Structure 1
C-alpha cells in the first residue's frame, strides 16, 4: 500500500534542492548567537522564536525594503571564518534532517568581506562547514551531498572575479556560478565577460532570471549568456497563451525553453512573497508542470520564507493534488539538472531517489 502523503511522510522522501541561499537559511538562534559574538546590535529581537517570526513577517510585508533588510542582519553576522563554518555546517544538518539527499547551496562571497576576509578564505571556510555538516549528518544516519554555487551580485561589477573563483575551486565541490541581485536595470548581459570565461573553461552556471523581470530577462540569460538553468524563470508563463477552451499556445521562447529542457528553479513560497505570483493556486508551476517543462521545486530562502523542501511539497500537494509520483518527477528533474558529473547524478537517482519513492509508493 502507498504511504499516505503528509508533511511528516514527505520528510521521509529523498529530495533534491538546486536553489537555496546560504544567507537566507540561518537558524534564528544562530543569528542571535553570532550577533552577540560580533557585537552586532542591530537585531530587532533577542528571542529566537520572535526573531524567526520577524524575518517571516518582514519578508511577507510586500515591501522590498523590508525584505532586503532581513538579509542585512544575516550578512552582518557572517563576517568571520568561524561564523561561515557554523552557518554552513548547520545548513547541511537542517537539509539532511528534512530528507534532502543533494543540494546546491549558493552565496555571494563578495558580501562577506567586511571583516577583512579574502575571497579564498571565505570559500574555504564555507566548504569546510559543508564537509563538517555532511559528516554530522552521516553520523545521524543521513547521507547528503552539497555542491556550492558562487554568486556575483549583478549590480557590483565583480562577476568576472567571482567566475574565476568558481573555476579555481571547482575541484573542491564548487560546482557552478550564478548571478543574483536586482534584475531590473541590471541585465545579465552586463556580465558577458564572466559567462564567456566560464564557457571557455567548461564550467557550469545558472542565472537568476524571469522573477522580478519578464521575458527579456529570460531571453538574454539564455541566448546572450548561455545559461544552463534559470533561477526562478516563472515569467516564462508570459509567453504561453491558454484559450477559454483550455487549448495552450506556446510562444517561440517558451517552446525553446521546453524543447531544450532548460531547468526552471522554481521557489513557490518565495515567489508569493516577492509578488511573482498572487497565490499558490495561481502560481505558474501548475501550468508549467502540466506542460512538462523541466520544473524543479526549491526553497530559495528558508528563514525568510519559513519553509523547507518538505513544506513546499506539502503545499503543492494540498494545492494541486500532487502525489508521490509527481514528487519523484520533480526530484529526478532536479537531479538530472544538477551540476554534478553524470555518473554522480545517475548514482543518486538510482541509489537514493528511486528506491526511496518506491518504498513510499508501496
Structure 2
C-alpha cells in the first residue's frame, strides 16, 4: 500500500488544465518505429513521466534503432515488443528474450479474440514464463469471457481492452456477484488497460463504458490514449463520470504499480515524480492510504 494524498474538498473538482498539469503514466501506447521520437515529445508535452511503448518489430536492427530513439531526457520510456495473432510470434518472443531488460521489458500478443485465442501460442508463452518475462494480451473489442479466461490461463499479467469481463458477473437483488474467473483477475490485480474513448460511437456512448463500475468493484485499471492525448482521455472521464483528483490518481497509481519496470524504479517514479504533484491538493490535517471501503461483493463458483 502507498500513502495517498487526502484531497482537500476545495480541490475535488477538476479541469482539463489541471489534468494536463498532473504527471501521468501510460502502459499501452502503440507506436511505429519511425514515430518514436515524435511520440515521446508529444507524451512529454502532455506531462507523461513514464511510458511503455508497444512496438511491432521482429529484427534486431529495428530494435537497435528503437532503443537509440528512447534515449530522451524528456521522459522515462521503455519498450514492450508486440506481435499480432497470426504473425511471427515465436520470432518476436525470442527477440524479447535476447534483449530483456533494462529497456525491453516484456512481450505483448495482440489481436486476440474468441476465434483467435492466446493458447494458440501456448508454447511461445510458456517459454516466456520459463524465462520470467512478463507479457500482456491485447484483446479485440469483441473478445468475450472465453478469450479473457484463456489469456489469464496462459499467464498474462496485463489485459488490453478486457472490458467485457463484466460478462462474468451475475446480478440479483443482493448485488453484483463475481464468478470465479473475474474474481481471480480482480484478486490477483491483473491490470485491465483501456482507452475508453476509442470505442465510442453512436451505439456505444462513453456513458455506457464499464470503467467506473470495474474500479468500484476493485479491479485494477489503467487508461491510455485513444484518439487524443492522455489528458483529453482523462478529461472525457471527468466530463462523463465526474472523475476527480482521487479517481485520476488511482488510475495513475495502478499504471505505475503494474508497469514492467523493477519495483525500486517504480517506487522512485512514484515518490519523486508523481506524489509531489498530488500533494499540492492535500488536506494537511488528514492522512490515509490508498483504498477505503469497497462495495459489498460476493463470489460464486
Give the alignment's TM-score, normalised by structure 1.
Answer: 0.72
Higher relative contact order (CA 8 A, sep 6+): 2
Structure 1 residues 29-84: Cα deviation after superposition (integer angstroms, max 9, x where no partner): xxxxxxxxxxxxxxxxxxxxxxxxxxxxxxxxxxxxxxxxxxxxxxxxx6xxxxx2
Equivalent residue for 2:137? 207
Structure 2: distance between partners of 1:172 and 1:123? 13
Equivalent residue for 2:166? 237
Equivalent residue for 1:181? 111
Question: Residues 326 and 246 (structure 1 numbering): CA distance in 2 closer, same or farther, change over 3 Å?
Answer: farther
Q: Which structure dedicates a bigger proportion of its chain to strand? A: 2
Q: Alpha-carbon deviation of 1:261?
A: 0.9
Q: Alpha-carbon deviation of 1:360?
A: 4.0
Q: Indicate if the aligned counterparts of 2:111 and 2:140 stay in contact, CA closer than 8 A.
A: no
Aligned pair count reads 274
Structure 1 residue 169 corresponds to structure 2 residue 99: yes
**Pairwise mapping of residues 319-358 of structure 1 onto structure 2 (< 5 A)?**
319-358=240-279
Equivalent residue for 1:260? 188
Equivalent residue for 2:206? 280
Note the residue ranges of structure 2 that are not aligned, 5 or more in a row. 1-9, 284-301
Q: Alpha-carbon deviation of 1:184?
A: 4.5
**Pairwise mapping of residues 8-157 of structure 1 onto structure 2 (< 5 A)?**
8-23=17-32, 84=34, 87-110=35-58, 119-131=59-71, 134-135=72-73, 137=74, 144-156=75-87
Structure 1 residues 167-207: Cα deviation after superposition (integer angstroms, max 9, x where no partner): 22223501110011253532111111211111111111101
Q: Alpha-carbon deviation of 1:3?
A: 7.8
Superposition CA RMSD, Å:
1.9
Q: SS of 2:21's equivalent?
A: coil
Equivalent residue for 1:247? 175
Equivalent residue for 1:6? 15
Q: SS of 1:317's equivalent?
A: helix
Q: Indicate if the aligned counterparts of 2:22 and 2:278 stay in contact, CA closer than 8 A.
A: yes
Q: Alpha-carbon deviation of 1:255?
A: 1.0
Give the alignment's TM-score, normalised by structure 2.
Answer: 0.86
Structure 1 residue 194 corresponds to structure 2 residue 124: yes
Structure 1: distance between partners of 2:157 and 2:101? 20
Q: Which structure dedicates a bigger proportion of its chain to helix? A: 1
